[in-house]
Amino acid sequence: MPQVLRRDQAESAMAASETGAEQGDPVALRDHAVLELLYATGVRVSELCGLDIDHVDHERRVVRVIGKGDKERSVPFGTPADRALGRWLTGGRPTLVDSRSGRALFLGVRGGRLNPRAVRRLVHDAVGTATGAADTGPHGIRHSTATHLLEGGADLRSVQELLGHATLSTTQLYTHVTVERLKAIHDRTHPRS
């Protein structure tokens, strides 16, 4: 299983990417929007790279994702991801668009659809700024999203739907991480542990 970021580490990685985006550089705007959307939704890297502009509903703050087996699902995202997407779409994407761009939501530096390898690199770079965070990629962000949702009180079935898992047993893998964290907290804080 990939390493899971603590909440403070995820926040630190997002803050670092936002600092870069504040400079208005198109690639930094894109990278920040990618990180925010990955963490907000827990989508797979292939699903993220396959998104088109019209897959994003800003009014309802949901993204329409085509997952494994061409199954479609709607996944909500929060205000920070919406803000980052808006900044990317107005200030970043227009500068990278060319004849190969089509309707792709995220673009590479040469104007084509962003590829998973570039997403892996930008995630590694952002996570590397978080103190004590283990080196992880987009799948680690996905695991972190699921773990943070479960730790925050989300039920397993809802997390299954959000992640697009066909079976609940796949989603149950994330409960192991949560139980391990609970054990660590118990050992650290309970007087009779």
Check if 183 is active-site: no
Check if 139 is active-site: yes
User: Which entry of 60, 68, 103, 176 is annotated as an active-site residue?
Assistant: 68
User: Which entry of 32, 87, 93, 142 is annotated as an active-site residue?
Assistant: 142
Check if 44 is active-site: yes
Check if 142 is active-site: yes
In whole angstroms, give the CA distance from residue 140 to residue 120. 10
Check if 30 is active-site: no
Check if 68 is active-site: yes
User: Which entry of 83, 124, 139, 181 is annotated as an active-site residue?
Assistant: 139
Burial 138-163 (b: 16+ CB within 10 A, else e): bbbbbbbbbbbbbeeeeebeebbebb
User: Which entry of 44, 93, 143, 148 is annotated as an active-site residue?
Assistant: 44
Residues forming the active site: 44, 68, 139, 142, 165, 174
